[in-house]
Every structure is written in C-alpha cells, then in structure tokens.
Amino acid sequence: MNLHEIKQNAEQTADVWDRLAGLLAAEPGLDNLRQRLTERARKLRDNRFTILVVGEFKRGKSTVLNAMLGQRVLPQKAAPCTAIVTLIRYGDTPSLKVIFEDGKIDTLTPEQFMQKYELKVDDTAWQCDRNDNNDELEKQILDRFGNIKEAVISYPLALCRDGVELVDSPCLGEHPARERRVLDFLTKADAIVMVLSATQLLNQRELRFITNTLEPLGKRHNLFFLINRWNQILEGLVDPNDPEEVRREFAEQGKLIDARLKPLCRVDGNDLSAKRIFRINALGALQQRLASTPNAAKLRETNVPAFEDAPVNFLSKERHRAR
Ligand SMILES: Nc1nc2c(ncn2[C@@H]2O[C@H](COP(=O)(O)OP(=O)(O)OP(=O)(O)O)[C@@H](O)[C@H]2O)c(=O)[nH]1
Ligand SMILES: [Mg+2]
C-alpha cells in the first residue's frame, strides 16, 4: 500500500467511524462509545500517533520522559507524584496547559505545573476506617484532580514531529481514581511503553495488566518494555568489582527476561523481543542531559538514546500497519 492509499484508507475509515458515531447519537447509553469513535476519527484525520507510557508505582515513567525532553518538566520524586494524564506534543515554542473537563484552561510554567498538579503526601495517605469491623486498611478515595481532563505540553522534541505524542500517566494499582484515568486513556493509545523495574521484574499484577487488560484491547501488538533502574543491579552487588559476581548477576537477569518478557513479545508468531525490550537507566540519562558538559559515552551507556531511535524506526516503518 503506498502513502496515498494509506491516507485514503484512513480518510474512509474516519468517515465510517463518524457515521457510526452519528447513528449512536440517539442512544444515550452509548455516549462513551460515540465519543471514542469521534476521537479515533479525529486522530486518524490529524495523523496523530499516541505512545502511552504506563507502569506501576515509581517505575520511572516520568523520569524517562524528562530524560527524553532533556528537562525537568514532569513531576518526578520518590513518593507517588503523577496525578494526571499528560500529553507531550510537538511545538516550536515550549508551553504547558492543564485542560479541565468543563473546557477551562490553566496555562503554567513547568515549575508551577510541578508545584500545583503533583501529588502531595495528603493525596496518598492511607486511611483506617474505624467503623469497619474488618479492621482493614482502605485507600482514601480523595482525588483532587477528578475535574481535569489532561495536561498538554508543547515542546520542540524532534521525535514528536509528524503527529507523534508521548503520554505520561499516573501509576497503576495505587489509587482507583487515578488508575481509572489510565485505563480510560488506553483505547486512545496506538503504542504502549510499559516501564518495569530491573530489580522487581514483572510481578503478577503487571503480568495480569498485560494479559487481562492490554491483550483484549489488542494493545499487546504494539507493546514496548523499558526495564529501568538497570544501574541498580550493580548497586545491589556485594562486590561490584568482582567480574564473576557481575557476570553471574547479569546472566541471571538475562534468563529472567527471557522467561518472563520474551513470550510477551511474540506477535503473529514472530519474536520481536530484540526490538521491543530495552534495559535503561532513565535517571542517568536525565542527569547527562542536564549536565553543563554532557558525556556522550555515559549517555549512550544509559541506553535511552537507543530507545529513542526505536520509536523512530517503529513509527517510520510500522506506524500505519500498527494503526
Ligand atoms: N537509581 C535510579 N533511580 C531512578 C531511575 N529512574 C527513576 N529514578 C528515580 O525514581 C523515583 C521515581 O521516579 P518517577 O519518574 O517519579 O516514577 P513514576 O513511575 O513516574 O512514579 P509515579 O508517577 O508516582 O507513578 C525518582 O526519585 C527518580 O529520580 C533509574 O534509572 N535509576
Ligand atoms: Mg510519574
């Protein structure tokens, strides 16, 4: 299929979705589906391609995106912090806005954004319901950000030219309302980047998220894995200067990756693991990009540049097929 045919095909598909959405307008119970069809049709016409970054608590989702931006724009810290879905799109002049459900817009600097819209300790406090005989700890349902649709960052990031948008998301499995925002966004994602931790590689919840949530939505076909905190493997060794201990530890990690992640990278009978799994050190990459005299070799070692090339290849060669 040539580019003209692909565009024509996209136009026709968008027309069909718009017509379907029109038919559903008379069915109030199907409002959600109607909105999704309209959104997909608009995305196809805009030639937008959305890469959603997901993962559990503190895997380094925001850090890896900050490393790609080469700037601290997204809130990142050791305590839970990303509260809202945040889109990064190409723009010649950097800007940042928060869009509310009622259409209101708050325009901010990155510092104001981090201050105003990151989670504070009170947002994440656990609460014990004393009337509950089970004596169980329950999560506080408090969600100060329920009236926000999303935040949008415009930034001159080469990767985002040509309609690509990168999306930071709140963590999975930590708070029902915040997790819901991620799940609601999933249907809009064309590709998923799941951030994992090298020191806790793929727990049962993460596996269930892939098999029970991504798979039924057809999203496993375009799934990338970032194994972050790769540097922490060395930090955990008794003697990081012992080459035998280093070799043994990395060999074990390799086996674990083969056992847990490789099977998830089989798509239509093909093993795509070499193109889909990246071991990275997001913090190291951000530190290098913020340094007054960045060290190119150290940046390469973090493997973040290799990951940045991967979406470029994926997008240029497989974007239309993926969609
Ligand atoms: N040592 C080390 N620390 C890292 C790495 N990546 C991120 N961190 C640190 O880990 C903490 C959590 O990073 P975040 O980017 O906030 O994690 P997140 O997944 O976005 O967290 P939530 O938004 O709360 O779900 C921060 O203090 C980061 O600086 C890494 O590769 N190595
Ligand atoms: Mg975050």
Q: How far is residue 219's CA from residue 171's CA, in Å, rounded to a whole number?
A: 18
Q: Is 72 helix (H, G, I), strand (E, B) or coil?
A: coil
Statement to judge: residues 32 and 136 lie in one domain: no
Pocket test for ligand 1, best of 69, 283, 302 (most atoms within 8 A of CB): 283
CB of residue 279 inside a 6 A radius of ligand 1: no
Averaged pLDDT of the chain: 89
Statement to judge: residues 121 and 232 lie in one domain: yes
Specify the DSSP element, H or E, that contains 17.
Answer: helix 3-24
CA of 78 to the centre of ligand 2 (A): 10
- 250 is in which domain, residue-wise? 48-322
pLDDT per residue as tens digits for the range 265-302? 999 899 999 999 999 999 999 999 999 999 999 999 99
Q: What is the pLDDT of residue 128?
A: 54
Residue nearest to atom 26 of ligand 1 (CA): 77
CB of residue 231 inside a 6 A radius of ligand 1: yes
Q: Which two tokens stand for residue 200?
A: 């806790």
Q: Which two tokens stand for residue 197?
A: 């931790």
Last residue of a domain, one of 47, 67, 84: 47
Q: Which two tokens stand for residue 292?
A: 């007054």
CA of 110 to the centre of ligand 2 (A): 14
Statement to judge: residues 159 and 209 lie in one domain: yes
Phi and psi angles of residue 89, each rounded to the nearest 5 degrees, phi first: -125, 160
| pLDDT average, residue stretch 139-164 | 86
CATH of the domain at 266: 3.40.50.300
Closest CA to 119 of 144, 150, 88, 152: 144
pLDDT per residue as tens digits for the range 216-232? 998 998 999 999 999 99
Q: For residue 225, list its beta bridge partners.
A: 194, 277
pLDDT per residue as tens digits for the range 180-193? 999 999 988 989 99
Which of residues 159 and 151 earns the better pLDDT score? 151
Statement to judge: residues 10 and 55 lie in one domain: no
CA of 282 to the centre of ligand 1 (A): 8
Statement to judge: residues 42 and 53 lie in one domain: no
DSSP 195-228: EEETTS-S-HHHHHIIIIIIGGGTGGGGEEEEEE
